Copies of this chain bind each other. A is one copy, B any other.
């Protein structure tokens, strides 16, 4: 998934390949034609075409010894849409593998917390996930905290109390801040 993202951007991050895409969007072209149009040698063009083929962006048709390449508009559009969606997606879930499955039960794909888990262990996992919204070293007002939490669940007050109870957030006066992750184990039950 994420590999495709990187691969896609790397493929598009080259001027020659962008120009090739432009030409192949207009119609079929042979390697020769492309080489002449771009002022490159055939091996170079072949190299670029291989990369674009690897992403499934091209359709090839052999006619004798020459190969006619053309852009697969649908493939490009599809790939782009998927890439953009994941690139501009709202707060993504963690890269952890262990917790991820657990979270999928309680967190919607758009980042909405469907329900606050009753089980202490599961609740802790969800709270850890919520902590991704808070940077360490920064101080937050209570209203800031609520705004951030409400993006995931309506009951920001409960979540805020839970976070403090699990030693993930600390509070003094009306100011909150993130505690180091090493403290999170020794939570006193709320």
By a beta-carbon cutoff of 8 Å, the part of chain A in contact with chain B is 2, 5-6, 9-10, 12-13, 15, 18, 21-22, 25-30, 32-33, 66, 68, 73, 76-77, 80-81, 84, 87-88, 90-92, 132-138, 148
Assuming A76-B88, A132-B27, A137-B66, is B13 touching A9 (CB within 8 A)?
yes
Q: Are B80 and A87 in contact (CB under 8 A)?
A: yes
Q: Are A138 and B80 in contact (CB under 8 A)?
A: no
* Bound CA span A80–B85, Å: 10
Residue of B nearest to A91 (CB): B26
Assuming A77-B88, A80-B84, is B18 touching A5 (CB within 8 A)?
yes
* Bound CA span A92–B88, Å: 26
Instruction: Identify 29 residue pairs between A and B in the complex whose beta-carbon atoms are under 8 Å apart, listed by A's number.
Output: A5-B18, A6-B13, A6-B15, A9-B9, A9-B12, A9-B13, A9-B18, A10-B13, A13-B13, A21-B87, A22-B92, A25-B90, A25-B91, A25-B92, A26-B92, A26-B133, A27-B132, A27-B133, A28-B135, A28-B138, A30-B137, A32-B137, A33-B136, A33-B137, A68-B135, A68-B138, A77-B88, A80-B84, A84-B84
Q: Are A76 and B68 in contact (CB under 8 A)?
A: no
A68 partner residues in chain B, CB cutoff 8 A: 135, 138
Minimum distance in angstroms from A30 CB to a CB of chain B: 6
A91 partner residues in chain B, CB cutoff 8 A: 25-26
Residue of B nearest to A17 (CB): B9
* Bound CA span A103–B137, Å: 57
A136 partner residues in chain B, CB cutoff 8 A: 33
